Amino acid sequence: MISLVYSETDKASVAQRLGASEYSYYFVLKEFQPLLDRFGPVIPVSHPEHQVDAIYQSCRRHGQECVFFSFAPPHRTIQGLECPTVPVFAWEFDTLPTEVWDNEPRHDWRVTLSHYGRALTHSDFAVETTRLAMGDDFPVASIPAPVWDRFSRLYRPGKRAGGRPVALDVRGRVLDTHELDLDVYSSALRRIHGYAPLPRKAGPAEPPVTVRLGGIVYTAVMNPGDGRKNWFDMVGGFCCVFRDTPDATLVIKITRTESDDSASSLLEELSKHAPFSCRVVLIDGFLSEDGYEQLAEATTYTINTSHGEGQCLPLMEYMSAGKPAVSPAHTAMADYIDAGNSFVVASRREPTQWPHDSRRAYRTRRHRIDFGSLMAAYRESYRVAVEMPARYAAMSAEAHERLRLHCSLDLAEERLRSFLALDYRREAEEAAPILAAQ
């Protein structure tokens, strides 16, 4: 089988689009590449409206199967192609868009998904939500991005929490509360002077900034400009619980390029909690692949406080490396977060909007974090890391194993083979009466 793959963000544009709408689909596509390689050649396309059918017709002439995998939401996946098309999308809300606005019928996903006749997503939650809208017989499967094989090699069985310090080289900017005067970022001064100037980012020709990490490290990799990530609770809870705990560090790796507003907002929020003895480090720059893995190895816990996740690649990566989580167990995370591998944060549903709905109409729900539960999870996770090495090691092993059963390449291959066979059987059944009549 020849796989054609597409996302709006590609290798050439990812640096400029980090944090932009739909940018994460590129990273999902990258993680799917080794999976699709197991089925045959993979051909990236940049202009599917011109390229896909030309390649598909060539494949048919040579007796080759060909499928187009569009890593994009259904309403942003091109229609009208002759080539079999599979939208691959993430979803974290409890209803699909089922209305038309701005005179665009594609915003009703029942229309677009019916056109494609099949879909892939990344969680059981999204599968159930899709079938509520499309019917139980609609061909949709959950295949999480297969990140386990790449990050599992970082797992160290029995490793104690708070190991030796590491030094990371960052090309960009590091904002460290142990080195900043947070008072200058306070709300009061902002009302008078506007945002205080941030330290300048290091340019590509300058020496990298070195940040040293040690102690009990909580790490989040996210775009603070995405309101769904709910960093206010993450930062506020951390500073409240660890106000007098100097060896507790929260690292936030920012995943966007135009990040000054986000960094300023984070510093303003931190100034509200000052003074505190714990440490918060914002990494606002580029980490090499080795640097990213070093950060994972230095991490004691990976943390998530989001209102909803389509799958959450960083959480899956760090847990594959044997890092237990502090996280809710809602939406996609319900597939792999439990009390054996995480400190589970309680949440409840609240009304919200579909993210691309220009009307901002309340048609779906997200999850609100219970702040008291988050603080309790911080306290207990720190106690386990410092006082209970055997329990920490057991949680680490459980995280590593649970993610193998969730997002390994072998499991993804099995699920994709089953999904494609189901689709082909359905297409054959639908074609049989037509062929019989000819």
Tell me the per-residue pLDDT of 316-349, one tens digit each, with 9 for 90 and over.
Answer: 999 999 999 999 999 999 999 999 999 999 999 9
SS3 state of residue 195: coil
pLDDT computed for residue 435 by the predictor: 33
Name the 3-class secondary structure at 409: helix
Asked if 2-148+410-437 and 150-407 have one fold, the answer is yes
- Angstrom CA distances, 81 to 40, 44, 78, stand at 21, 16, 7
Measured in whole angstroms, the distance separating CA 183 from the mean position of its chain's CA atoms is 33
Task: Evaluate if residue 48 carries a pLDDT over 80.
Answer: yes
Q: List the single range of 165-174, 233-242, 410-419 with lowest mean pLDDT.
A: 165-174
Residue 438 CA to residue 82 CA, distance in Å, equals 21
Name the residue ranges covered by the structural domains of the chain. 2-148+410-437, 150-407
- β-bridge mates for residue 254, sequence order: 222
Most distant CA pair in the chain, distance? 80
Instruction: Enumerate residues 6+ apart whose C-beta is below 8 A from 116.
Output: 74, 77, 85, 86, 87
pLDDT digits (tens, 9 = 90+) for 290-322: 899 999 999 999 999 999 999 999 999 999 999
Could you give the angle at which helices 371-387 and 389-407 cross, rounded to 10 degrees?
Answer: 120
Mean pLDDT of the chain: 90
Directed axis angle between helix 409-437 and helix 389-407, to 10°?
Answer: 20
Q: Which amino acid is at 300?
A: T
Give the up-direction half-sphere exposure of residue 84: CA atoms within 13 A in the CB hemisphere.
Answer: 17
On the question of pLDDT at 393 being above 80, the answer is: yes
Q: Give the pLDDT confidence score for residue 20 in this predicted structure.
A: 52
What is the DSSP-derived secondary structure letter of residue 20? S
Q: Write down the pLDDT at residue 287.
A: 85
Q: Write the pLDDT tens digit of every residue in 33-45.
A: 999 999 999 999 9
Structure confidence at residue 200 (pLDDT): 75
Provide the pLDDT for residue 225. 82
Query: pLDDT for 86-108, tens place per residue?
Result: 999 999 999 999 999 999 999 99
β 216-222/209-213 pair status: unpaired
Amino acid at 94: D
349-390 residue pLDDT tens = 999 999 999 999 999 999 999 999 999 999 999 999 999 999
Q: Closest Cα partner for 220 from 258, 264, 253, 198?
A: 253
Task: Name which of 191, 278, 190, 288 is nearest 236 in CA terms.
Answer: 278
CATH code for the domain defined by 150-407: 3.40.50.2000
Q: What is the dihedral of CA 354, 357, 360, 364, to 10 degrees?
A: -20
Is residue 52 pLDDT above 50, yes or no? yes
Alpha helices in 45-193, H assignment, sequence order: 48-61, 109-116, 124-134, 148-151, 187-193
Q: Give the pLDDT band of residue 265 (cuts 50, 70, 90).
A: confident
- pLDDT class for 187, splitting at 50, 70, 90? confident
341 within 8 A of 332, measured Cβ to Cβ = no
| Contact criterion met (CB below 8 Å) for 407 and 149 | no
pTM of this structure? 0.91
Output phi, psi for 109, to 5 deg: -65, -20
Between 21 and 359, the higher pLDDT residue: 359
Q: Which three-class secondary structure state does DSSP give residue 13?
A: coil
Q: Which of 32-46, 67-81, 370-384, 412-426 has the lowest mean pLDDT?
A: 412-426
What fold, for 2-148+410-437?
Rossmann fold (3.40.50)
